[in-house]
Amino acid sequence: MMRFSRFGLLLIITVSVFIGANCSYYNRVIARKNLVDGAKAYKDRKFGEAEKLFRYAASKDPNGETVEGRTAQLSLARTLHSIYIGNRSDKSKAEEALAEYKRAFRSR
């Protein structure tokens, strides 16, 4: 009976470590999917949808430590800039775009 308990405990620890180690991989896959979908929305001039997708992708790597995270930050800044160009009276989008550009280039 004790042998089964030790084996069960070892199995639980192993599975926990494996799942924890793969969360970053899962986040990268999800971020990459959102980048692809956001790029398609941007190309189709659906800037609101692209902004949402790029924000989600950037939230998976807020420090820009991966290629996906840095690309998401830069794509978000570009999308916000495009939204501002379409409506120049919305100064908050311009300020937000500048802040995102600074964040994207600071993380490099």
Question: What value does the mean pLDDT take over residues 76-100?
Answer: 94
Q: Please give the pLDDT value at position 15.
A: 74
Q: Please give the pLDDT value at position 24.
A: 76
- Calculate ∠ Cα 108-83-28, nearest 5°: 40
Return the CATH architecture of domain 27-106.
Alpha Horseshoe (1.25)
pLDDT in tens, 23-72: 777 788 889 999 999 999 999 999 999 999 999 999 988 888 889 999 99
Q: Please give the pLDDT value at position 64.
A: 86
What number of H helices and E strands is found in the chain?
4, 0
CA distance 76 to 55: 6
| pTM of the full structure | 0.76
Write the CA distances from 21 to 17, 28, 42, 46, 69, integer angstroms.
Answer: 6, 12, 33, 35, 18
